[in-house]
Copies of this chain bind each other. A is one copy, B any other.
Amino acid sequence: MNQCLIFPSDIQIDGNAHLTGRRHQHLLDILRTQTGDKISVGLLNHQMGSGLIVSQDAERTCLQLELEQSPPAATDLTVVLALPRPNMLKRSLQNMAALGIKEIYLIHSRRVEKSFWSSPLLKKEAIENELVLGLEQAKDTVLPNVYLRQQFKPFVEDELADLAKGRRALVAHPSDNSQSVSCCQAPSLVAIGPEGGFIDYEVDLMQQAGLKSYSLGPRILRVETAVPVLISKIWQL
């Protein structure tokens, strides 16, 4: 935790943030803070700065906030990701949040195991927990939006073309004719397939929605590796 993320609900009537639970325990056990210490903080979806520990006991940490710094620029790259298996999803959510991605669509596709959709990790609160870990790692405050789309065809036909409009829109698909993509800060969108890739029919549909096929070459990467690699290739961090 390079920065402690404060939620509006943590702010009490005295204007200070009162932390309990995970963040309090982390300060106590890992960072071993004491009253009088200053730590790096950020207010969810707002400014960042420092938190002076005005009191700390076994139950809670009380922080006086001074917020004067803007969070880092967002990465204007929409990620459309075929739902990965739960442990990969965890790390991918953390990585996307850390890399500044703000719009994430988790979609179904033929090679996504149906059982993945019943993972408790897809509950709103569980997704948020992973995103918060990524924001705390990278020192950001702006929570990404995560949308679940359990039906491939309606998503591609009804939403994807609009999402792709005005953006450089790509579907990552292993092939021999690797198209090179320059790394820049133009608004972009990338669709990333499941283990085994999108099937041809799915790639065709996405191409009809305006996406261009893009290959990283012959190496097959795990989803949790492909996500940061593709973001780095497309967006100038």
Report the copy number of this chain in the oligomer. 2
Least CB distance, A75 to chain B, in whole angstroms: 9
Closest to A183 in B: B183
Interface size class on chain A is 20 to 34
Closest to A224 in B: B91
Closest to A140 in B: B219
Which residues in B have their C-beta under 8 angstroms from that of A89? none
Q: List 15 A-B contacts (CB under 8 A).
A: A72-B217, A72-B218, A72-B219, A98-B221, A98-B222, A99-B219, A99-B221, A99-B225, A100-B219, A138-B219, A138-B220, A138-B221, A183-B183, A217-B237, A228-B232
Tell me the A residues contacting B by CB distance below 8 Å: 2, 72, 95, 98-100, 137-140, 180, 183, 216-222, 225, 228-229, 231-233, 236-237
Tell me, in angstroms, the Cα distance from A94 to B226 when the chains sit together.
13
Closest 5 CB pairs of A and B: A232-B232, A138-B219, A72-B218, A229-B232, A228-B228
Which residues in B have their C-beta under 8 angstroms from that of A231? 229
* Also in contact, A237 and B228, with CB within 8 A (given A99-B219, A137-B221, A138-B221): no
Which residues in B have their C-beta under 8 angstroms from that of A225? 95, 98-99, 228
Tell me, in angstroms, the Cα distance from A72 to B220 when the chains sit together.
11
Which residues in B have their C-beta under 8 angstroms from that of A137? 220-222
